[in-house]
Structure 1
Amino acid sequence: MKHEITMPVLSDTMQTGRLTRWNKAVGEAVKKGDALAEVETDKAILDVEAFQDGYLAGPLAPVDTDIPVRSAIAWLVDSKEELDASTDAQDAAPAVPQAPVAPPKPQQAAERTAPAPKTPAQQSVQKENPPPTVPSHSSPLPASPTLADGARASPYARGLAQELGIDLRSLGSGPIDSRAVLAAALRGPLPDLTAGPSYQMERLPGMRAAAARNMQDAVYTPTFQITARLPLAALQARAKASKQSLTLALARACALTVAEDPWFNHLWTPQGLAKRERVDVAIAVDTGDALLTPVLRDAARRPVKELAEDWRILLGKIKRGRLAPEDYRGGTFYLSNLGVFDVVHNFDAIVPLGAAAILAIAATQADGNSEFTLSCDHRVIFGADAARFLQRLRDRVADPSWLDS
């Protein structure tokens, strides 16, 4: 039996995956769990595993191609005989281009278009039921929006884009549906590239594209910022003495503070506020090519040593490009630390969807203080709530005796 191998769906927002490598060739025997191929998602490069024993059969989807989720990328067959039959069928049915049709000679055309004489009865029927009007080849048909690189859009999306004046090429490689067109219309006008110098379009890597979409979506969150100068020298010294990462120590301090003020672990929804049962801290990590947010689960209640081991594993996955969706989704509080850049005295961060607050930490200054800027969803958190949060956090980082627990 021939079994379809499809592009997996690895996140709620994933519409396409980029096939980066085949680990197996057509005809190779595979075992259940073998990594057949590598796929680049919006956050990482993941393996496509064989779901049973068998033989890899073609045709294989081409490498370095964006493929819609759930589309076939290859096949598995149960036996060598089926593999041979599948290969023979592919070889026996090559693609044969259709021969061009020669234009008719003038005399033939005249003979073909000359109408036959009609009887009076036929003329009467024709008057009552006139034939449908066929547009002449001399007048061009209205062109529907086209996409570069063979990208796909639904007919309704094409019509909607034409009506709203949206260039479908600006929406990526597809598949594009009406929701993407409406979202583009709500985002407002795009920059006019014809007004500047010549340019070349570059494909946005999947991870950067995902970050861009997330930031665009987060714009609709009504936020405010509040900044405080906190003493960071004691926490830095304690983390160094304990051989712990300062970022991990800050994440633990935030988690303990959130646990004391559950408003910061709520999430606004149209149905009401969702109160989460644990504090999962997502930490922004810069890889040079992407912005990732690995999550430390239950960061307020688990021992620091356990969190440190989780953090080591997460950083290792990021280094290998193997961060899985369960590693970066579902943060309830976010932390962005740019303290390693001594030129950064303060900055604001955007509250991601799925959280009510994010804390931005700048570099420590000569006096041992650092500016902490808390961005909050104003539908959940008020100014006084944010001020009290920063007060408690100040007391916690000034006396970091909790770091060893």
Structure 2
Amino acid sequence: MMRQRVISFTRRFALKQAASCGTTPHASVSTSRRRLAHMARPLFFLSCSDGSRPMLNMGFYAGRKSACLMSRRGFADLPEVSTIVMPALSPTMTHGTISEWTKKPGDVCEAGDVLCEIETDKAVVAFDVQDECVLAKILEEAKGREIQVGMPVALSVEDKAAYEAFVEADKAGKIATPSTEALPSPTASSTSPPAPSLPASPPPSPPTPTAHLGDFALSPAARHLLHSRQLTLSAEVHGTGKGGRLTKGDVIQAIANGQAQAAAFAAVPPPPPGLDPAQVGIPTIQAGPGTFSDTKNSNMRKVIARRLAESKATVPHAYETVDCEIDAVLSFRKQMQRDFEVNVSVNDFIIRSAALALRDVPEANAFWDGPKGTAVLKEDVDISVAVATPAGLITPIISGSDRRRLSEISATMKDLAGRARQGKLKPEEFQGGSFTISNLGMFGIDEFSAVINPPQAAIMAVGRGAKRVRAPPYLPDQHAGNLKPYTATVMTATLSFDRRVLDEALAAQFLQAFKSYMSRPELLLL
């Protein structure tokens, strides 16, 4: 039995093309051994008996013999190029800025090496290389513009030999550099011109009749009838009341005689053509006298502004305040320094007290699930502590705060705060958290209220400890003579809480538990 030879469509097309040249084709069809990453199919070359090598047009390029050979050499010499894009290093990150390139073109990158540092909406995060490669070309320089997540930032190749071929091809203009321009938002219209700004206009006054009623002496009932029916009277109407005053009966009679007409209102001029009606009446902001300068915000500050505005607009904030006497904490802190040489700050006592209070009142250790419309209680007490950095405010997390000792909380907080100011925090060290503490006592602030950090349900704002004169506690009458005012170091704590998750009673229970731990620091050792 003879075997039937199956010839592919590409081969049949090549044979037909050679026959049209009047030559006898050889038996081999060669393909390019390497492909560019953006090409989907290879180029095919056909050898003819007369020595010519016509190129088949497979959808990419067809031209003269010299161009075909040059294209073939280009395909054989060009390496496979991979595109490195801006990663999403946090759940809320939409844009990023290259802070520093730690590698330069031509450097070999091993798996786990830091390629660059990226300023996200939270911090400056190191971007690690996942696979071994050679950095071929940098598309976005450091300290440049904001880059949308998913846009190209660099190109890489497999090895040094591929890099050398890449450099030669790039000089010859054979490397197609991917576009780094972000796509426009689908909701934004690039063709619509900006709406012209107009000076502020006074609010439109209510329409007034062309014939006012001041020409007539009207009784109250007659005036009310004309205004309610929006009528005006002709000049021929005469009143029958005292002194020629028009009475309600005169108005009714005038309506019956056809001497009352609908009031004509002054026409309101339409807005200029092409102007959005919503823009009418909006004043144009003009600079006042003197000089000023614009300050460029970092990505972190922009995101903080946006998220806090969303929090105040969408989260129902409620507030409760409590005063805590911290003389026992200050005395206990000095004792730990003297006897055990352990340096623990007041902020560490606050974190530990809040953690134990959250364990006692687990309803405060929760967050709001918007899509489900439910409050979700967290099992782990992970406290976020606000730290001021040059780039903005960041909240590193002390995970399992209720299970940590005071000395452990102190060491962890010092490490996190130091690396936060250097922008060296890992994403898992500042993403998440179940409760936030913001302490401005070191800045001399007596008390303040903080904005909730969604989706958390509460944030506690802590002021400084200051000496105050306190009234004595209430006791039965037989002991009243021995009571006197006293001086104490008082610290004010204000709890901002999501009213959808906590009510006032639960918030008060948490603050009372926190106050109890701060007044009896020996309980923090249990």
TM-score (normalised: structure 2): 0.58
Describe how 1:207-218 pairs up with structure 2 within 5 A: 207-218=300-311
- 2:147–2:182 Cα contact (<8 Å) kept: no
1:338-390 CA distance string (max 9 Å, x none): 11123x22111111102111111111111301111111111111112222222
1:114-169 CA distance string (max 9 Å, x none): xxxxxxxxxxxxxxxxxxxxxxxxxxxxxxxxxxxx974536322399599799xx
Q: Secondary structure at the match of 1:58?
A: strand
Describe how 1:310-389 pairs up with structure 2 within 5 A: 310-342=412-444, 344-366=445-467, 367-389=488-510
* Corresponding residue to 1:87 among 161, 164, 167: 167
The change in CA–CA distance for 1:245 and 1:155 in structure 2 (over 3 A counts) is closer
Describe how 1:1-40 pairs up with structure 2 within 5 A: 1-40=80-119
1:398 and 2:519 aligned: yes
1:251-302 CA distance string (max 9 Å, x none): 1100100111111012222421111111111111112441111111111123
Note the C-alpha offset of 1:332: 0.9
Note the C-alpha offset of 1:80: 2.0
> Using the alignment, how far apart are the partners of 1:280 and 1:195 within structure 2?
47
- 1:218–1:352 Cα contact (<8 Å) kept: yes
> Using the alignment, how far apart are the partners of 1:403 and 1:190 within structure 2?
57
> Using the alignment, how far apart are the partners of 2:127 and 2:428 within structure 1?
16
> Using the alignment, how far apart are the partners of 1:52 and 1:248 within structure 2?
41
Amino acid at match of 1:71: M
1:17-36 CA distance string (max 9 Å, x none): 11122222211223222222
> Using the alignment, how far apart are the partners of 2:122 and 2:365 within structure 1?
24
The change in CA–CA distance for 1:54 and 1:355 in structure 2 (over 3 A counts) is closer
The change in CA–CA distance for 1:382 and 1:281 in structure 2 (over 3 A counts) is same
- 2:151–2:181 Cα contact (<8 Å) kept: no
Amino acid at match of 2:511: L
- 1:279–1:298 Cα contact (<8 Å) kept: yes
Q: How many pairs were matched up?
A: 329
The change in CA–CA distance for 1:395 and 1:165 in structure 2 (over 3 A counts) is farther
Amino acid at match of 1:75: L
The change in CA–CA distance for 1:215 and 1:297 in structure 2 (over 3 A counts) is same
Higher relative contact order (Cα pairs below 8 Å, separated by 6+ residues): 1
> Equivalent residue for 2:472?
none
Q: Secondary structure at the match of 2:295?
A: coil
- 1:30–1:55 Cα contact (<8 Å) kept: yes
* Corresponding residue to 1:45 among 124, 140, 143: 124
Deviates more, 1:218-227 or 1:2-11: 2-11
The change in CA–CA distance for 1:213 and 1:241 in structure 2 (over 3 A counts) is farther
The change in CA–CA distance for 1:284 and 1:384 in structure 2 (over 3 A counts) is same
Note the C-alpha offset of 1:199: 4.4
> Equivalent residue for 1:146?
none
> Using the alignment, how far apart are the partners of 1:25 and 1:67 within structure 2?
19
1:239 and 2:239 aligned: no
> Equivalent residue for 1:196?
288
Amino acid at match of 1:86: F
Q: Secondary structure at the match of 1:368?
A: strand
Unaligned runs of 5+ in 2: 1-79, 198-280, 337-342, 468-487
RMSD over equivalenced CA pairs, Å: 2.8
Q: Find the structure with the greater CA-based Rg.
A: 2
1:179-205 CA distance string (max 9 Å, x none): xxxxxxxxxx99954253564433211
Amino acid at match of 2:413: W
> Equivalent residue for 2:470?
none
The change in CA–CA distance for 1:383 and 1:14 in structure 2 (over 3 A counts) is same
1:251 and 2:351 aligned: yes
Amino acid at match of 1:350: V
- The percent of aligned pairs where both chains have the same amino acid is 29
Amino acid at match of 1:382: D
